[in-house]
Amino acid sequence: MIQRVQTIWLLLAAVTISCLLFIPMVTTTAGNIEYQVLATGLYQKIGDVSKQIEAFLPLLIGTIAVAIMSLVNIFNFKNRTNQKRVIMANVVLIIGLSFWCSQYAKKIPGGLETANYNVGMFLPVIAIFFCILAIRGINNDEKLIRSADRLR
């Protein structure tokens, strides 16, 4: 149901994936120029001015789609088995999204050897953890309903 704990976990998963749009995954410094990789693109930061060098539009659309999928799945509370299936599909998409992010991170000047990994690189893992907790909450709901049916 909407007030159940899986709602919180799915909301946290959506927020975590949405943070990829604002939190850099990889940064590197070449001279006095800092390069950052976000889900929106490759940015060049000189001083306080940040300029987008390359846009990653497919990655941006994929990130938004995975976040929306988690949010929409919150309202699928009447069909718990379908909700679990959608969460499992969401986990697979998050794994694919993280692989896709790593492929775009290789485009950073200087390569990944000199790059610093930021919090954004670990956000998909945290989102997968939240999805697993949501599945656990759904399983607990199913156990509760089965035990209530036995009492009738």
Residue-wise pLDDT for 99-136, tens only, equals 998 888 888 888 778 888 899 999 999 999 999 999 99
Whole-structure pTM value: 0.88
Res 145 pLDDT > 60: yes
User: Which CATH class, in words, describes the domain spanning 5-151?
Assistant: mainly alpha
From CA 133, how far away is CA 27, in angstroms rounded?
31
From CA 54, how far away is CA 134, in angstroms rounded?
36
- Residue 115 DSSP class: -
Domain parsing of the chain, residue ranges: 5-151
34-79 pLDDT tens trace: 899 999 999 998 888 889 998 889 999 999 999 999 999 998 888 8
* Local confidence band at 1 (pLDDT 50, 70, 90 cut-offs): very low
Q: What is the pLDDT of residue 22?
A: 92
